Structure 1
Amino acid sequence: MDLTDAPRRPRAESIVPMINVVFLLLIFFLMTSRLAQPDPFEVNPPEADLETPLDADATLYVDKAGRLSFDGQDGDAALARLAELASADAVLQLRADAELEAATAAGLLRDLSAAGFARVELVVSPK
């Protein structure tokens, strides 16, 4: 009669720690990544009492000096890129700085109208 213990099978390595590390890395990369394209420059919008939601197809950024930025393009290249997207029913969102001169804004609106935009929405901050 053989009373010795039966040989034990080697225990398989647990993959739970590896799964934990993968999930921690996933959470880290999701928290540190940027899901939206950053603004090209700081814009402080003017204040207004209007709280209508904006519905726009594209966003044009204008700083207080009148510098334009759209889709990675600056200045006249931004206007040319906008002209490619313009249509009769296209809505443009204008994120202009509060310190932008009115004459510069009026000239910009004239240029946008000539490019084919019939509707431009100005982004404002609530009072």
Structure 2
Amino acid sequence: MDLTEPPRRPRAESIVPMINVVFLLLIFFLMTSRLAQPDPFEVTPPTADLDAPLDAETTLYVDKTGRLSFDGQEGEAALAHLAQTSATEAVLQLRADSALEATTAAGLLRDLAAAGFSRVELVVSPK
């Protein structure tokens, strides 16, 4: 009769701490990231032979009928909200549809100047 204890297997490493670290990193990256909002409506930008990068982070959308959208608000409410933002942002990115009439665009630029924006960048697509 053999009364010796059988040899013990080495205890496996626990992966629970590694799982905790992965979840903490996941939560950290989700909390610190900026998720992009989808475009409020379809805009077809005009074409140009210009490859200059855009400097603006604030974006105003204008469709072919002249409807405005900024930060989830539309129309006059978008302009009012944009006027509040103009104190912190010096450059505005304008995503206008290529079918937008020039008179409507000129009136909009006048309203943006009155709101405090001295520089507006028009988004175009390359030819």
Q: Which residue of 1 aligns with 2:69?
A: 69
Q: Among all aligned residue pairs of Structure 1 and Structure 2, give the percentage whose two residues are the same amino acid.
A: 70
Distance in 2, Cα, partners of 1:115 & 1:78: 11
Show structure 1 runs of 5+ residues with no match: none
Structure 1 residue ranges, 4+ long, deviating more than 2 angstroms after superposition? 7-16
- 8 Å CA contact 1:57–1:90 kept in 2: the answer is no
Distance across 1 between alignment mates of 2:122 and 2:37: 20
When structure 1 is superposed on structure 2, of 60-69 and 79-88 the one drifting more is 79-88
Distance 1:37 1:89 in 2: 18
Unpaired segments ≥5 residues, structure 2: none
State the match for 1:85 in structure 2.
Answer: 85
Q: Distance in 2 between matches of 1:11 and 1:88?
A: 62
- Aligned equivalents of 1:85 and 1:120: distance in 2? 14
Q: Quote the Cα distance in structure 1 between the aligned partners of 2:11 and 2:39.
A: 51
Q: Residues 18-70 of structure 1, C-alpha deviation per residue, up to 9 Å, x if partnerless?
A: x5xx89xx7xxx9xxx9311111111100000111010141000111111000
Aligned length: 116
What's the RMSD between the two structures over aligned residues?
Answer: 3.1
Amino acid of the structure 2 residue aligned with 1:122: L
Instruction: Indicate the residue corresponding to 1:113 in structure 2.
Output: 113
Give the AA of the match of 1:116: G
Q: Which residue of 1 is the match for residue 98 of structure 2? A: 98
Aligned partners of 1:70 and 1:82 also within 8 Å: yes
CA distance in 2, matches of 1:5, 1:105: 92
Structure 1 match to 2:37 = 37
Alpha-carbon displacement from aligned partner over 1:63-111 (angstroms, at most 9, x marks no partner): 1111100011100000001111114971000000111111111111111
- Determine whether 1:6 maps to 2:14: no
What is the TM-score when the length of structure 2 is the normalising length?
A: 0.75
Offset of residue 6 of structure 1: 1.7
TM-score when normalising by structure 1: 0.75
